[in-house]
Amino acid sequence: MLIQIFLVVLLDRITKLFITHTMTVGMSFPVIPGVVSCTYVLNPGAAFGLLEYQRAFFVVITLAAAGAIFLLRDHIRREGPKARLGTGLFLGGALGNLIDRIATGYVIDFVDFHFWPVFNVADIFICLGVGLIVWSMLENESGKKTSPEKKK
């Protein structure tokens, strides 16, 4: 799990450093015209503009989630590879955005599909991580409900 966390944070930092060193806030250029652009945005809240300027709240929530994951690490290990990978991706993404929030009070966003709020690499891994965790939980729960006879 530590490898996933490290790689996600590293990829997130590299992409955000590239954006901050090559663009100015508000600058945008098409990556695939009409589909996706790279738009440099400083986001003071969460997706959809929720909880703007609630820096302390996001810091506390992220640290609480990391603490809960640390306390549940043995349980997560037993849940299987999807849960472990998902947890690492989620935590890496959360820590990537936490670095921004602590350093500046904003999260650097730049992936712009025009019909969705602008987001970043950390957000992608948070969503992938949650998806894998839910998938693992659903698989494990359906396996518990299946009787031994049906598994044969």
User: Helices 81-104 and 121-145 sit at what angle, rounded to 10 degrees?
Assistant: 150
Q: How far apart are CA 60 and CA 62, in angstroms?
A: 5
Residue 135 amino acid letter: W
Q: Exposed, middle or buried, 128 (CB in 10 Å: 0-12/13-18/19+)?
A: middle
Instruction: From 63, 47, 44, 39, select the one nearest 55 (Cα to Cα).
Output: 44
| 74 assigned to active site | no
User: DSSP secondary-structure letter at 3?
Assistant: H
Catalytic residue (choose from 12, 100, 112, 123): 123
Catalytic residue (choose from 12, 100, 109, 112): 109
| 100 assigned to active site | no
Give the DSSP per-residue string, 134-150: HHHHHHHHHHHHS-HHH
- Cβ of 110: how many Cβ atoms within 10 Å? 22
Which active-site residues does the annotation give?
109, 123
